[in-house]
Each structure stands twice: as C-alpha cells, then as structure tokens.
Amino acid sequence: MKTKMFLHLFVILSWSLLVIKAEIHSLMYIYTGLSKAAQKIPSTHQFTAMGILDGQIIDYYDSEIQKKIPKQPWIQHQMEPKYWEQGSMSRKIKERWFDANVDIVRKRFGHNSSDIHVLQWRHGCYGELLPDGNVVFHSAVDQYSYDGEDFLSFNNTHSEWVAAVKAAEESKRRWDGMELLRTYTHGYLKKECITWIERFLQSKRKHVSTPPAPSVEIFGKMSPSESGTVVLSCHASSFLHKDVSLEIRRDGRTLVREDGVVSTGVRPNHDSTFQSGASVEILQSDCACFTCVLRHSPSDLYVEEIWDGGILGKPCLEVTGAVGVSVGLAVVALCVGLLIWCRLRKCNSGAASKVPTKGTDVELFNSEKVTLKESSQSSQSSKSSKSSKSSLVDSVGSSESRESSESSENMENLLTSGRTMPDDESL
C-alpha cells in the first residue's frame, strides 16, 4: 500500500514539474465593431482587428486604413506580400459582418440606436513549446462579447456554442445546427491555430539570425521606507525564452517570496525578446555575497552577476553614515573596503562575475536548424491531424491564417473558405 501511494505521489510531483517548466505561447485575434452612433465621434474607428502573439501585436487593421499591416519587423519580412493582400480582403469581409451584426445584437437587447454599443470577437489558442520545436495544443478561446459582457462562446471540448445571456440563445440554436461551422471552429482552434504559433515562432527565430546576448545587472539603492536598509534590484533583458528563471541569491541560496523578493514577471521587449526584474530589501550592513542569476536549463543559458556593494545615487560618505570630519574619510574607506572585500571574497569562492557557461541564446540560434512547414492546400484536412497541421492556407478550421478566402455564398463554400466566422450567417 505504501509503495503504491509513493508511486502515485511520484507521478503527481513529476507532472507538476513538467507543468511548471512548460513554455506556453499564445496566438489571439481580436475584432471590435462599434454601432453607427460611433461615427459622430472624431478619430474613432468603426472596426478594428489585430493579431497578438505572446502579448505583442503582430498585425493590425481598421476601417480607416482598410489594410492588414505588420506591426513587428520579423512578420513583415517573413510573410509574403500575398499574405497581407489576402488578409486585407478577409478583414474587409469581417468588417461588413460586424457592421450588420452589432445592430442585430443591439435590437435583441432593446438598446437605443443613439448610444454607442460594442460587439467584440476574441479567438485563438495556447500551445506548449516542446524541446524539439513542435507546439502542442494546451487550450483555446472563441468568444463573443457585447458591451463588455459575455454573449456567446464556443466549447471546444464538446464542439458546441454556449449562450451566456438569453439574447444569445437564438444564435446558439442556429450555430449549433451548422455542423460544418462547429467542425471548422474546433479544427482551427485545436490544430490550425497551433500550427500558426509554431510557424510564427520559427519565423521570429529565422529573422533574428544573431540575437543580442542577454544582459544582467544587479544594483542597490537606499530604501525610502527604512533607514539602514538597501533595496537590491536584479534586472535581465534581451533573452529569448519566456520560461527563464531570474534569481537573487545570498551566499548561493536563492531568495524566495518569503524572504521578501518581489518580481515583475516576464515582459516583452519591442524586439521580440523579453525582460524581467526582481528586488529584495536587505540590511546595509549585510556582508553576504549577493548575486543575480538568469538561467534557462533547456538552452543551457546561465548568466550570473555579482553585486559589488555599490548603491546608486549615494556617495560613500552617505552610504556608510556621517562620522567626524577628521576621521570620517578613513572610516568610510575602511568600512566600504571591508564590505567589498568581504563580498568579493565570498563570491569569488563560489561564482564568476558573468558566466555564460555551456551556451547562450545566441549559441542556440546559431546551432538551430529552422524549418518552416510548407503550406499545402486541403479542403477537408480534419480527416488527418498530420495534414491539418501542415496546411497553412486553405485547410479546414482556419480563420485568421486563411483570411485570403473570398466571402462564402453558402455553407458548401464555407468548407473551402477556411474561416471560423460564418461571414454570411448573422448572430
């Protein structure tokens, strides 16, 4: 019995570690349509659409520019002109769809046409990046909202629509009856969307042939809240992986939240890299060795920076404390010298100042072979997950990626149009 319980516990812990280490990426598309009353407001776009990869806008469209345009250098260079032309065509179709349906939903709620109302569609997926570069499905979202409240959503597990309010029940009945639409929506969210995450990630890496080396710095500044206390800050930037670990260590031990560590989390930079920060309050008199460590085990990234005891914006006299004029400088020099000697002696016994060790993000790119899956045309790719994953233009279940298709005239045309939104079907 004990052996069995131990095995169960081991499996649970192992799975937990895998979940923690998982690198999750997201691809989301957001469409927003305003009612006609918004036309009275200057500089307001009746319709906007954007693609968002890992929190960064990668493309944009609105009712004024009437074009799908790139918002990141890598997607501008990696995608062919035809991709943008076809995408612009598809978003014009969606703009007309929103223009009609925002009024349909408004009437169902019995709202006044003189007020501004908002209809929004948000759909996309989350995928886990595996060490071999493949991305596997994690979860998905396909949701409509009206005036900021949930209206209608797609349950990907049961392939059915869910009405959040009574006004959406009619839409649910009609769309649940459209078997092809349910099949396409499920296929796009679980397969095609994941394939596009994979392709976009590969495109980013291909575009950045020699990425900058990650930077790590650690510095101290006097605490504004308590005298004799220093806020020690650790900052890292220009790294390529979201699931890195940024640590502040004291004599080799990683400080945690219970020690007072505050983290900013991982945030995107403008160049498709990431940054992160952490800080902790320590006693100014603490003679321990403090280091800032950036590490990412799957890519062998390891950078460590030692704090030299310096404090920003404070001359040595203020840092050490005011003393008598005649002996002040000698005491300051002695104290600062002892602190630095103490820290460096401890640090040098355990770590070097900056240690990129086995590899860095730069090395990862130089050694990685990037291969993009070729687009293949398939009108019924849901029969095979393999063919569905490799199809990037006309396969079943795609939406934003196959924005190229013309407006479908009937449900049979919807099969090859590759859109999850029923452009000819109102809510």
**Cα–Cα distance list, 424 to 135, 187, 204, 414 (Å):** 32, 20, 35, 9
**Other C-beta atoms within 10 Å of 20: how many?**
8
Percent of the chain's residues with pLDDT above 90: 53
Give the residue, 349 or 192, on which the prediction is more confident: 192
pLDDT band, residue 419 (cuts 50/70/90): very low
Count of alpha carbons within 13 Å of 3, Cβ hemisphere only?
0
Closest CA to 280 of 318, 253, 242: 253
Token pair listed for 190: 């679980």
pLDDT of residue 240: 82
pLDDT digit string, tens, across residues 313-347: 554 434 434 333 433 444 344 444 545 555 555 56
Give the span between the Cα atoms of 372 and 249, in whole angstroms: 40
* Superfamily of domain 21-208+385-417 in the CATH hierarchy: MHC class I-like antigen recognition-like (3.30.500.10)
> Tokens 């060790």 map to which residue?
357
Establish whether domains 21-208+385-417 and 215-359 are of one fold.
no
User: Residues 6 or more apart from 49 whose CB is under 8 A from it?
Assistant: 29, 30, 31, 32, 60, 61, 62, 68, 91, 94, 95
* CATH code for the domain defined by 215-359: 2.60.40.10
Res 136: pLDDT: 95
Which pLDDT score is estimated for 314?
57
Q: Is the dihedral of CA 30, 49, 194, 161 positive or negative?
A: positive
Alpha-carbon span 313 to 50, nearest angstrom: 43
Which of 88-92, 310-314, 408-412, 419-423 shows the lowest mean pLDDT across its residues?
A: 408-412
At residue 88, the 3 state secondary structure works out as: helix
Structure confidence by residue, pLDDT tens digits, 282-295: 998 898 999 999 99
- Helix, strand, coil percentages for the chain (3-state, nearest 5): 35, 30, 35
By C-alpha distance, which of 199, 192, 131 is closest to 372? 199
pLDDT exceeds cutoff 90 at 27: yes
The position carrying tokens 């990412």 is: 296
Residue 273 has pLDDT above 70, yes or no: yes
**Interval 97-124: pLDDT, tens:** 999 999 999 999 999 999 999 999 999 9
Listed by start position, the domains of the chain span 21-208+385-417, 215-359
Chain segment 372-411, per-residue pLDDT in tens:
233 333 333 333 433 333 332 233 333 444 443 333 333 3
Closest CA to 291 of 340, 346, 344, 248: 248
Tell me the two tokens of residue 183: 């099949």
Burial of 154 (0-12, 13-18, 19+ CB in 10 A): buried
Cβ atoms within 10 Å, residue 47: 24
